[in-house]
Amino acid sequence: SFNTIDDLDDAQRVLVRLDLNSPVEDGEAQDNRRFSRHAETVGELADEGHRVVLMAHQGRPGRDTFVSLDQHAGILGEHIDREIQFVDDIYGDDALDAIEALEPGEVLLLENTRMSDDELPEEAPEVKADTEFVQTLAPQFDAYINDAYSAAHRKHASLVGFPLALPAFAGRVMETEYEANTAIANREFDGQVTMLVGGTKATDVIGVMETLGEKIDTFCLGGIASHLFLRAAGYDVGYDRHEDLDLYDTQWANNEDVIRRLLDERRDQIELPEGLAYEDDGERAEHTREQLDAANHDYMDISEETVEKYDPTIRNSDAVFLKGALGVFEEEQFSAGTVGAVKAIAETDCFSVVGGGDTSRSIEMYGMDEADFGHVSIAGGAYIRALTGDDLPGVELLVDAAN
Ligand code: 3PG
């Protein structure tokens, strides 16, 4: 494993990588679970009397979400009830002056790391460690702390460059995400292990089933996963009416063979929906498998009967993992699948991890309590990679640093 902030010496100058990448609506960054989670690490470091400098990214160049982090400082500050200073610079003179001026217990957030050309693109850690970004900032600090598990799949300077230039430690979010998400791949449980597989990407679904096929007893399918497997099973779930070819037709065309093989090999482990829901005159309506009619309907959720079928499987489990939403839960009439599954998980006394994309948002939206889950992941792409057994470079470097 890796060293954590418990292993830091007293009164250090620490450079901390967070993942505050957030939805942005009309130019305004939206508060979300990433702020409340990272607040724990930042608050603890400040309370311990370290000088705390934070780095994070937001969006990507060319996208609407690519904005300054000035608002993020205010949002994070509210979560830890202390002022967070902000400087609109990353490693220029203004940043260096602000870092130099910090007193013990003070916290400073630097500008969006992706505004530096050194941050992107993805390159080897040695290359990133050699950038002006890393070479300028590293000498200002005693330690580097990576708390950005959810960005650890990216080989960007702020994630892979600094561990080669400074003693490297894991923050609290990194620790808890790493433990929960690797528990699955290591199958650290006895008894029934169930995975609810949803979301919108065929390759994620296939990756998860290929990698975890021997470790999971039952896969309950929803979302795009269920459409693909129902289609392989001979039901009329097509994609012809969808305009987003990338999400539908191509996903089927590119993955048909492997989906048919997985259905064949893992038939006893796979639970398919009994039917799917669609919109009829503004109201939720449902089709059984036999009634499915892809040419005339867009299916947005698993049917009520499917929710009832998955319920006892979930409640009889010793461990349950949810990857991705089972339907379009953001629309209340298509939330029954995701909310039904997530509520059953909450009410079951088992080890549970809920993650993938925005799935964790369903917990707030439908009035559930995060404390009823083993772990609610704030990671998207990194969660999938952990489930599919891929290394996360940012995590690997922390492990290397500890050895
Ligand atoms: C995320 O939001 O999942 C991470 O911060 C990674 O962001 P990216 O997909 O823009 O690299």
172 contact partners, CB below 8 Å, separation of at least 6: 4, 5, 40, 41, 44, 147
Say yes or no: 36 and 101 in one domain: yes
Crossing angle, helix 172-185 and helix 393-402, to 10 degrees? 100
Q: CATH no. for residue 330?
A: 3.40.50.1260
- Flag whether 211 is in a domain: yes
Instruction: Give the end of a domain, one of 170, 188, 207.
Output: 170
Say yes or no: 149 and 240 in one domain: no
pLDDT at 254 (0 to 100): 86
Of the CA atoms within 13 Å of residue 35, those in its CB half-sphere come to 20
Confirm whether residue 212 is marked as ligand binding. Answer: no
DSSP 257-277: HHHHHHHHHTTTTEE--SEEE
pLDDT at 349 (0 to 100): 94
Say yes or no: 266 and 147 in one domain: no
Task: State if pTM tops 0.95.
Answer: no
154 in contact with ligand 1, CB cutoff 6 A: yes
Instruction: Give the end of a domain, one of 138, 153, 170.
Output: 170
136 contact partners, CB below 8 Å, separation of at least 6: 91, 96
17 in contact with ligand 1, CB cutoff 6 A: no
- Flag whether 269 is in a domain: yes
| Three-point CA angle 380, 180, 357, nearest 5° | 15
Category of 25 on φ-ψ map: left (φ > 0), alpha (ψ -120 to 50) or beta: beta
How does pLDDT run across 208-217, given as a tens digit for each residue? 999 999 999 9
Which residue range(s) make up the domain with 26?
5-170
DSSP 170-190: E-HHHHHHHHHHHHHHTT---
Number of domains within the chain = 2
160 contact partners, CB below 8 Å, separation of at least 6: 124, 125, 128, 129, 393, 394, 397
How does pLDDT run across 230-260, given as a tens digit for each residue? 999 999 886 554 555 456 677 888 899 999 9
113 in contact with ligand 1, CB cutoff 6 A: no
Say yes or no: 226 and 332 in one domain: yes
63 in contact with ligand 1, CB cutoff 6 A: no
- Flag whether 393 is in a domain: no
60 in contact with ligand 1, CB cutoff 6 A: yes
Residue nearest to atom 3 of ligand 1 (CA): 380
Say yes or no: 112 and 209 in one domain: no
- Ligand 1: nearest atom to the Cα of 379: 3
Say yes or no: 121 and 148 in one domain: yes
- Flag whether 322 is in a domain: yes
Say yes or no: 90 and 197 in one domain: no
- Flag whether 397 is in a domain: no
- Flag whether 399 is in a domain: no
- Neighbouring CB atoms inside 10 A of 364's CB total 12
Say yes or no: 88 and 33 in one domain: yes
Residue 201 pLDDT level (bands cut at 50, 70, 90): confident
ipTM of this predicted structure = 0.96
Confirm whether residue 57 is marked as ligand binding. Answer: yes
216-230, 243-257, 378-392: which has the minimum mean pLDDT?
243-257
Q: Cα separations (Å) of 194 from 82, 189, 211, 374?
A: 42, 11, 14, 14
